[in-house]
Structure formats: structure tokens, C-alpha cells
Chains A and B, each alone.
Chain A
């Protein structure tokens, strides 16, 4: 198991929004998806996932509703709202700027795009 990396402050929100941008999902699904997509490098503390979901919901960026899963189980699904989409776009843009800046500080600007 590769060493997991601590999430940068604030990036958890970005990851959640990005994950939910693909399709509505429940909390467990979000955790799994982030882990899968990052090839197990990013392992989010599942305990801190829920406060983040709640925070995003209170901000109005995502919305939740109870649905039935494929195994006939009741679960709370989160979906991105209109404001959430806009927020994702701005956060992505600022993330790009940040990573580019960090890369150039580290002298690896050429590889930054990879």
C-alpha cells in the first residue's frame, strides 16, 4: 500500500465537488471514488468527509436527498447544484494556478502539465 498523503487544507472540498460533478453519489461512494481515482495515494479520513459534506451543503454548493441504492438500501445521495458547478470551476482554476506556481518554485515548470 503506497504511503498516503495528507490532504492540503481546502483541497478536500475541491475533490468532493469534482467527484460529485461526475454523478450524484452517497458519502461512502465519494470516499471510495477519491481513493480509486488517486490510485490509493489520497486516502481521506472518512471521519472528516462528513463534516465537509455538511459544510458544502450548508454553503448551498451541493444538495442531498434520500434514495434507494442498487442493493435496495436507503442512502443519502449528494448532487452538485448550479452554484456548486460555478464554485468547482473557480476552485479548479485557482488550483491550476497554485500547482503551476508550486511547480515553478520547485523548478519543474516543464513537467507541471503532466
Chain B
């Protein structure tokens, strides 16, 4: 066997010289002739007979050549060379195909890279499909949470899950106290947490179950980043004592490098989540601490079954709830993927759909171009077939051409994909998980290669399977009826699809402009927001917090150019806000609202300058004054919306809330402020109530405090001043500053991202469809050159000819428009969740889009049609 292999290899390397075979055949013929002459034949006849007996010398030679192992490689090279020569002769065709393929493949690959993690890639946990997030959801908190009291019961009594683990509700600031305090993110989870996700620590061990109990010696796990960064990857990190918020704790483990919290939060230090049944029944009004709960479904238990099995437990818990909260609280169990991706999935699917549509258009384009080329080459193919090329050889040749093209297109596509991904990452809003980390990876490159090969094979075959009929040899190249119909349908489909894409993008664009143009009710220019995170273990009383902020306020007021310094616990229009229920408001002399009805009210605790800094108009009554801050009265200002609901047709100023009503106090309404966008950019406004943050320590609880500085100076100029003012009070507290403009701009990031992306793909689709239309009309025009020549010779004017050609193209466009518009109206309903103040039947969109497309299509038709009219009848007729 090896010897056979060696022989094969030898022949592969050194092909037999042709002359050897010639000599051999020559010898053979010589012998045949000699034998015949010896038998008495005359030499000429002997030679003739011998040659007849031998058969075709040339074909024998060819066959001998084909016996050589690896012979086909040579023909492939031949085919490739031939293909390149063909491309060189036809640069326009080659360029169109390449561009189409590159755009199609590039866009697909890039978008696939982005949506992959959101839609397809398994989460980085063991058997992630069976992990769920469960708990209560409430109108004020849409992410599942469980109160500690109920959780300890669930742990005991639940049936559908094989494991259950709790984590604290959010990452909180904590200080790593060493020489220089450093502020980090801390979180806690139970000992059962990591095993549930199938994660083991990179170093050390997980928490022990007994460490989840109170009064155990404190231990912590640290993140891989903290270990590598802060501790320089110290291999002896385990058992080291560190000081977190003033408490010593022992490091027992390091989390793995790519560990990702199921809430997608980032934390540096993890402490055990201490859950004690008796404690949980006492704290927080007997409900216990809120927490996030994750669980692993038992095998064979579906999400629905789990929901049904948890329902009785949940119903039991509901008994503890105050009556008004019962209606608002529900049980929710959803897969971890749904929990992590939140609302990103519909966007991802739409994006994916858009890109598939673009790929479809691109494919149709390439198919059309290949078909046109095939039709134009019928004569050539017929000639090659007549001089002995086998059918298989012709198909192979066509396949080679197509593969070379798709390979080149694929390479260009990868380059485009890389560029696009970079653009995506730059544009990526924070709301869509993972986009910021998207990059081209190997699997996706393979995906692109597959798409490109598939394109090549399909189109190559489409071109090759056109049987080169003998008729093609003497007739002019002509497109058969079937192909003409197929190509027309392809172009019609392209136009229809691009209408759908354009309508979708136009709807989003309309919605985006509405978002940008809406009146927010506040000024944002020249306003700086300052967030100071006071370490709670040092600022452990309200008094200390208040002192800090009052000192900061007065020092910022002294800065040159400062117009107003306001303090508040939140800033519209988005982000965290201290909401409460409308039904909790009780007005003196009025019946109480019905619990559970009326939705939520935004509460904001502000200083008088808040309205001045944000330029929010007081439409009635008066603003808070500095005197109010030291007085005994609790003043509130209502938003117009709230006033209209609470006091329809009455004078709101001077109305009183009952003593237990507003944050446990009574209060008097002193003013009415204009409505401000306060539920994000796209949601309808909530009613809003401003309470005065007085200079009394009781008003300074809570850790969400922000300082707003309105200055006549440039924002960039005052930032360093603010920083040094903060440092002069306490140089260790971290500080975050951002112009309000910028944070507002970030809120619009997501619609901007969606609009840009979909718009880009819609335009790409339009471009490709127009290239397809142009190609078709140009092709038809050349096909009909002779007919045109005859018509012109018979007296047709140029206008007649133009009309003749354009009519054909326009019919295609009109059919495409009709089909596309119908589908677009039906399909655009999927965009509904993304639209703001625009209906899916937006008339402007459905007028503008067809107009735009018709205009572009008209150009694409007229250019080749005009070229057709410049045909010289004398030349085309003589060309025959």
C-alpha cells in the first residue's frame, strides 16, 4: 500500500514527459505498419489501416494525460485563469457582483456578530436553558424580586426547582480601606449561588453553607479583575485579611475571569448573603430584605409547570400583603436569557430580519447578474461545447467562476463586516447588552464563508444549467422567455423588499425625530450634574450627610459664573426616581383615593434652586425659598399634571395633605410647576410632586443625591473647580460629573442606534435593488438592440424608443411597489414597540418611501434606456 502511495506521489510531482508517449505510440504504429507490409500490403495502405486500427491518437494522448493522479488540479487552475480573463473583459459585471456580495455578506456577518450573543449564544453557565429568574413583579419594580421572609419558605416548600439561590438586589458602593480608601462595588450571594450556575472559583473556594448564617467570621470572594489589578495577581491572596467598610474579612476565593453576574452587574467584592428565618420575619416590616432569586428547573419541568407549581406558594404569600398591593403584585418566572436581554430581543430580531432581507436582495442581484452573463455567453458556451468540452466541464468551469467571485466577495465582505462592527460598537447604547463587546469571531467568519460559498454554488449552477443549445451557435445571443421572466420576478421582489426595509427605517426615523424634537420642559444647556458617592460607613448619620452637602452647596455658589446650585435626589427625564402610589396621597377634606388605582407619582426631594438651575417654570404660586428651608412647614410644589388630577377646577395653592400622606408628613402646596418629561423619553409623563429638602437632618436620608450647577461659564471650565471644592471638604470621596446635555443625549442613544442601523440597511437594500434594476434594463436594452435598430430604420423616434424601454422597467417598478407597500403595512406592526408617537400606518412614511424609490428607480431606468436610444440603426443591422 505504501509503495502504491509513493508511486502516486512520484507521478504527482514529475509528470511524464509527453514525448515519451509520442515515442511509444510511434513505435506501436511502426510495428503495425511493418507487420502489414510483411503481409504484403503496400506501404501507404498499410499506414492507413494501422492508423484506423489505432483510433484517435490525440484522444488517446488526452486520455493518458487524464490518468495522472492530480490531473484535475491543473484543470481547476485553468478554469481559474479562464475565469479571471473573463472578469477582466467584463469589469462592470465583476464589480457589481463583488460589491453586492461584499455588502450582503459583510452586513450579515456584522449583524450576526452583534445579535449572536443576544439571540443565539448560550449564556456562560452550565445548562443555561434551565436557569430561571423568579419572584414578584410589581408596577414599581418590573424585575423579579422576593422578600426574605417568603424566600426562606420557598426554599423549604418549592417543588419545581432542583436548586434555588438568592443574591442581594443590587451592587452597592463599598470602601476597600487600606492606606488610601478605594471605592468598589459590593454584592452578596448565597453559598448555593455559584453551584447553581455551574461556576467554580478560579482560586480558593466558594462560600460554605454555614457562612450564610449570622455571626460567622466574615469572609469575602473577590473578582478576577480586582485580584489581577489591585493585588497584581498575588498567588498568596487566599486567607489575606482585607478591610471592607471598616470591617475585616478574609478572602476565601477569586471568581473566574469571565464570570458574569446574571443581572449583568459588575462587582468587585462578594460577601455571603446572610438569610436567617427569624431575622427575616422581623426586619422591613416583617417582610424581610428584598433579593433577586435564581433557580434551576428540575429536568422535565417546563416553565409553565414551574409557574403552576409556584402559584399556591405565591398565593399564600399574598395574604401578607396590604390589600392595595395584592392587585399590583404578580408572580413571574422567566428564563435567564429573557431576564438578561430585557427588551433587546425584539430589536435584535428586527435587525436580524432586516439583514436577512438585505442578503436576500444581494442574492437576487447576484443571481440576476449571473443569469445575464450566462445569457450573454450562450454563444461562447455553445462554441466550447461544439469543440469538445463536456457538459460536466462547462458546469465545473461555471462553478469555478462563481466560487472565485464569492470567495473574493467573501473576503471583501469580511473587511466590511469588521468595519461595521467597529461602527456598531461605537454607537452601541448601554441598554442593549453585549453590543459593546461584539467582535468578529471565528465562528462568524465561517458563517460568512458558508454563505458566500452557498451563493457561489447556487448562482454558478443557475448559470451553468442553461443548456447551450445548438441554436445559440448561429443565432444572436438571446434571453429565453423563462429566464426573462425569472429575472423580472427577481427584480420585482428586490424592489418589494427594499420598500419594506425603507418603510421600516422611515418609521423609525420619524419616531426618532419626534423623540428629539419633543419639549422636555427643562433646560439642559450649560448644566453640570455632580454625583458624589459618600461612603456610608463614614457618613453614617443623616446629619453628616447634610453637613457635607450644605458645605458643598455654599462653596459651589461662590464659584465665579454660578447662577444656581440645586440639590435633588433624582434628575428627569430618566433614571432612578423615588416613585410612590397616587392612591397614597390624602388631601385634607377629600375622600382618600382607592388603593391600587391611579398609577404612580414621581416624587423628588429638591432645594429651591432646582427649578432655577433647570429653568423649570413655576406656573402658579411660588417657588420654594431659602427661608422655607429652615422653617417648620413642609412645602410641596405639584406638577401641572398632578394638580389637574388632584384638584380639577379648584385652586391648588394652599391645599393641604394629611399628616401621614407625603413621606409620612403633612404638607402644604405652595406652587405649580410646568410638566417635565419624567418617565424616560418615550413614555407618557407621570404626575410629579416636589418636596422641599429642608436643612433638617431628617430630610437627608437616601443615598441618591445629586448637585446641579447652572453656570455662565463653560461646563468644561468649571469641572476642575468643582472637583477641587469637593476635595477641599473631603479629598477621599469619589466624584462623577457629566453635563446634563450629555446624559440626555445618552438616553436617546438607543433609538438613535436602532434608527441608524436600520436606516443603513434599508439604504444598502435600496442601492442593491437599484443596481439590479439598472442591470436588468441595461441588459434588456442590449438584447433588443437589433429590434431597436429595425424600429428606428422604420421611422421610430428616439422618444418612441425611450417609451418602449422605460415602459418595461416601469411596469416592474410598479408591481414591486404594490407588493412591497402591501407587505410593509402588514409587517411594520412588528416595529410597534419601537415607535414613539408614530403609528405603523403613518401616512407620510407610506407616501415618501414610494416616492423616493420611484425617483431612484426612474433614474436607474432612464440611464440605460437613453443609452439604448443612441443605437445607430445602420450599425446594429449590419452587425448581424
A-to-B contact residues, CB < 8 Å:
26-28, 31, 45-48, 50-51, 54-55, 58-60, 73-76, 82-83
- Stretch from B62-70, B175-183, B409-417, B599-607 that touches the partner: B62-70
Contact with A along B1-42 (1 / 0, CB 8 A): 001101110010000100011011101101110000000000
User: Are A58 and B7 interface neighbours, CB within 8 A?
Assistant: yes
Task: State which residues 535-556 of B face A: CB under 8 Å.
Answer: none
Q: Does B54 contact A (CB under 8 A)?
A: yes
Structural contact, B67 and A54, CB atoms closer than 8 A: yes
Instruction: State A46–B64 Cα separation when bound (angstroms).
Output: 13
Contact residues in A for B525 (Cβ distance below 8 Å):
none
| Contact for A51 among B4, B30, B67, CB less than 8 A | B67
> Contact check: which of B11, B30, B32, B63 meets A48 at CB < 8 Å?
B63
Q: Are A28 and B31 closer than 8 Å at their CB atoms? A: yes
Contact B57 A47 (CB under 8 A): yes
With a cutoff of 8 Å between Cβ atoms, the chain A residues found around residue B66 in the complex are 51
- Name the A residues within 8 Å of B27 (CB-CB): 26-28, 73-76
Interface of B is mostly: helix
The answer to whether B68 and A58 have CB atoms under 8 Å apart is yes
Name the interface residues of B38-70: CB closer than 8 Å to any CB of A. 53-57, 59-60, 63-64, 66-69
Contact A60 B60 (CB under 8 A): no
Given A73-B27, A74-B23, A83-B4, the answer on whether A55 and B59 have CB atoms closer than 8 Å is no
Pair A50/B8 contact, Cβ less than 8 Å: no
A50 to B23 Cα, complex, angstroms:
12
Given contacts A55-B67, A76-B24, contact A48 B60 (CB under 8 A): yes
Asked whether, in the complex, the Cβ of A47 is within 8 Å of the Cβ of B7, the reply is: no
- Report B-chain residues with C-beta under 8 Å of the C-beta of A83: 3-4
Residues from chain A with a CB closer than 8 A to the CB of B7 are 58-60
Bound-complex Cα distance A36 to B31 (A)? 16
- The residue among B20, B67, B68 with the most chain A CB atoms within 10 A of its own CB is B67
Given contacts A28-B27, A28-B31, A50-B25, contact A58 B54 (CB under 8 A): no
Give Cα A38–Cα B30 distance, bound, in whole angstroms: 23
Distance, CA A55 to CA B122, complexed state (A): 53
Please tell me which one of the listed residues A47, A73, A76, A82 contacts residue B60 in the complex, with CB atoms under 8 A apart.
A47
Q: Are B55 and A46 in contact (CB under 8 A)?
A: yes
Task: Please name all residues of chain B whose beta carbon is closer than 8 Å to the beta carbon of A31 when the two chains form the complex.
Answer: 28
> Does A47 lie within 8 Å of B55, measured CB to CB?
yes
| Shortest Cβ distance from B16 into A: residue | A54
Which chain B residues lie closer than 8 Å to A76 at the CB level? 20, 23-24, 27
Measured between alpha carbons, how far is A91 from B463 in the docked complex, in Å?
43
B67 CB contacts on chain A under 8 angstroms: 51, 54-55, 58
Partner of A45, one of B11, B23, B55: B55
Query: Which residues of the other chain, B, contact A73 by a CB distance below 8 angstroms?
Result: 27, 30
* 21 A-B pairs with C-beta separation under 8 A: A26-B24, A26-B27, A28-B28, A31-B28, A46-B28, A46-B54, A47-B59, A47-B60, A47-B63, A50-B60, A50-B63, A50-B64, A51-B63, A58-B7, A58-B11, A58-B69, A59-B4, A60-B7, A76-B23, A76-B24, A76-B27
In the complex, A28→B4 CA distance in Å?
A: 26
Which B residues touch A50, using CB under 8 A? 21, 24-25, 60, 63-64
Residues of A within 8 A of B64 (CB): 50-51, 54
Q: How far is the CA of A57 from the CA of B293 in the complex (A)?
A: 75
Would A58 and B21 count as touching, CB distance under 8 A? no
Identify the closest chain B residue to A75 (Cβ): B27
Encoded as 1 (CB less than 8 Å from any A CB) or 0, chain B from 275 to 303 comes to 00000000000000000000000000000
1/0 contact trace for B808-847 toward A, CB 8 Å?
0000000000000000000000000000000000000000
Residues on the A chain within 8 Å of B21, using CB? 50
B-chain residues with CB within 8 Å of residue A74 when the two chains form the complex: 23, 27
The interface residues of chain A lying within 8 Å CB-to-CB of B25 are 50
Q: Chain A's nearest CB lies how many Å from the CB of B643?
A: 98
When C-beta atoms are compared, the residue in chain B nearest to A81 turns out to be: B3
Question: A27 CA to B59 CA in the complex, in Å?
Answer: 17
Of all chain B residues, which has the CB nearest A56? B67
Indicate if the CB atoms of A60 and B8 lie closer than 8 Å: yes
The CA-CA distance from A47 to B63 in the complex, in Å, is: 9
Q: How far is the CB of B72 from chain A (nearest CB, A)?
A: 14
Q: Which residue of B lies closest to A71 (CB)?
A: B34
With A and B bound together, what is the CA distance between A82 and B4 in angstroms? 11
Would A60 and B20 be within 8 Å (CB), given that A27-B28, A51-B63 are in contact? no
11 additional contacts (CB under 8 A) given A26-B27, A73-B27: A27-B24, A28-B31, A46-B54, A50-B25, A51-B64, A51-B66, A55-B67, A59-B4, A59-B8, A60-B3, A60-B7
| Bound form: Cα–Cα A48–B23 in Å | 17
Least Cβ–Cβ distance between B349 and chain A, in angstroms:
56
- C-alpha gap A28/B26 in the complex (Å): 10
CA distance A26 to B23 in the complex (A): 12
Give the nearest-CB partner of A27 in chain B: B28
Q: What are the residues of chain B within 8 A of A46 when measuring CB–CB? A: 28, 32, 53-55
B492 CB → nearest A CB, Å: 51
Q: In whole angstroms, how far apart are the Cα atoms of A112 and B64 in the complex? A: 36
Instruction: Among A27, A60, A73, find the residue whose CB has the most chain B CB atoms closer than 10 A.
Output: A60
In Å, the complex CA distance between A4 and B655 comes to 122
In the complex, what distance in Å separates the CA atom of A82 from the CA atom of B25? 27
Note all chain B residues with C-beta closer than 8 A to A82: 3
> Which residues of A lie under 8 Å from residue B20 when comparing CB positions?
76
User: What's the minimum C-beta distance from B28 to chain A, rounded to whole angstroms?
Assistant: 5
4 closest A-B pairs (Cβ-Cβ)? A47-B55, A51-B63, A60-B7, A60-B4
Decide if B32 touches A28 in the complex (CB within 8 Å).
yes
Question: How far is it, in angstroms, between the C-alpha of A31 and the C-alpha of B53 when the chains are bound?
Answer: 11
Which residues of A have CB within 8 Å of B23?
Answer: 74, 76
Whole-angstrom distance between the Cβ of B530 and the nearest chain A Cβ: 84
Min Cβ gap A17→B in Å is: 15
Q: What residues on B are CB-neighbors of A28 within 8 Å?
A: 27-28, 31-32
**Distance in Å: Cβ of A44 to nearest Cβ of chain B:** 10
A47's contact among B11, B30, B54, by CB below 8 Å, is which?
B54
Interfacial chain A residues near B3, Cβ < 8 Å? 60, 82-83
| Chain A, Cβ-Cβ closest to B54 | A46
In the assembled complex, the Cα of A73 lies from the Cα of B8 at a distance in Å of: 30
**Which residues in chain B, 224-254, are within 8 Å of chain A measured between CB atoms?**
none
Measured in the bound complex, the distance between the Cα atoms of B21 and A4 in whole Å is: 27
CB distance from A103 to the nearest CB of B (A): 32
Please, how many angstroms separate the alpha-carbon atoms of A75 and B34 in the complex?
15
What is the minimal beta-carbon distance from B15 to any residue of chain A, in angstroms? 11
**Smallest CB separation, B65 vs chain A (Å):** 9
Q: What is the minimal beta-carbon distance from B721 to any residue of chain A, in angstroms?
A: 87
CB distance from B3 to the nearest CB of A (A): 6
User: Within 8 Å CB of A59, what residues of B?
Assistant: 4, 7-8
Complex contacts, A48 vs chain B, CB 8 Å:
55, 60, 63
Give 1 or 0 for each of B855-870: 1 = CB within 8 Å of chain A CB.
Answer: 0000000000000000
The minimal Cβ–Cβ distance linking B53 to chain A, given in whole angstroms, is 6
B 44-101 contacts with A by CB, 8 A: 53-57, 59-60, 63-64, 66-69
The distance in angstroms between the C-alpha atoms of A45 and B59, with both chains bound, is 12
Which A residues are in CB contact (< 8 Å) with B54? 46-47
A73 to B26, alpha carbons, bound, how many Å? 12
CB closest residue in chain B, given A53: B64
Residue of A nearest to B62 (CB): A51
Q: How long is the Cα–Cα vector from A74 to B16 in the complex, in angstroms? A: 18
Taking a contact as CB atoms under 8 Å apart, the answer to whether B60 and A51 are in contact is yes
In the complex, chain A residues whose CB is within 8 Å of the CB of B53? 46
How far does the alpha carbon of A48 sit from the alpha carbon of B11 in the complex, in Å?
A: 20
B493 to chain A, nearest CB (A): 48
Residue ID in chain B nearest A31 by CB atoms: B28
The answer to whether residues A47 and B31 also contact, given A54-B67, A55-B67, A60-B4 and a CB cut-off of 8 A, is no
Bound-complex Cα distance A107 to B613 (A): 112
Q: How far is the CA of A75 from the CA of B24 in the complex (A)?
A: 7
When distances are taken between beta carbons in the complex, the residues of chain A under 8 Å from B57 are: 47
CA distance A55 to B16 in the complex (A): 12
Assembled-state Cα–Cα distance A50/B484 (Å) = 48
What CA separation (Å) do A82 and B56 show in the bound complex?
A: 33
